[in-house]
Amino acid sequence: MKKLVFASVLFMSVFFAQAQVTINVNIGTPPNWGPQGYDDSRYYYLPDIDVYYDIDQSLFIYNNAGKWTGDKNLPSKYRRYDLYSGYKVVLTDYKGNSPYNYHTKHRKAYPKGYKGEPQKNRGERPEKNDNGKGQKKSENTEKNKGKNNSKQQSSKDHDYNGKHR
């Protein structure tokens, strides 16, 4: 009987050891303007405009009057900034969920105009249409159609960590 129990335990341990699966979940998808080859990264630093980008939450993080703010869009003064041609520093030298805690170090190491190794974007730049604002027609239609849609509200009513102010 002991041999049967021992054989069963041995069989089960071998079976379950081989049945283990490792799952690597990348919550956010890097944007098309992000640098190619860094799909496991979480943050970019954009030295030209002194802004971070959180890939997992698809948020731009910037200092707004002394407070770090997360928003789906760039601050209004940088809305015309070309994300496809600007340099993106892929951050690896931070701990936790607040890369801006290292802002002084990042700003010193990557000043405005910094260019490191040549970068290729993950995707192509979208084509501009002749509708006056360079947005795709479907984007304009969606914006006008869903102005009162709560899903389209800005995250400005929340602090960066997603807590309501």
The per-residue pLDDT for range 88-139, each reduced to its tens digit, is 999 998 888 999 999 999 999 999 999 999 999 999 998 877 554 444 444 4
Give the C-alpha separation, 42 to 57, whole Å.
9
Nearest 5 degrees, angle CA 109-CA 160-CA 83? Answer: 50
Residue 14 covered by a domain: no
pLDDT in tens, 24-65: 444 679 999 999 999 889 999 999 999 999 999 999 999 999
Residue 69 covered by a domain: yes
Query: 3-class DSSP state for residue 70?
Result: strand
**Residue-range definition of the domain harbouring residue 78:** 26-141
Residue 73 covered by a domain: yes
The tally of domains found in the chain comes to 1
Among the residues of 27-115, which ranges form H helices? 103-109
Residue 10 covered by a domain: no
Residue 19 covered by a domain: no
Residue 160 covered by a domain: no
Residue 3 covered by a domain: no
pTM attached to this predicted model: 0.64
Residue 151 covered by a domain: no
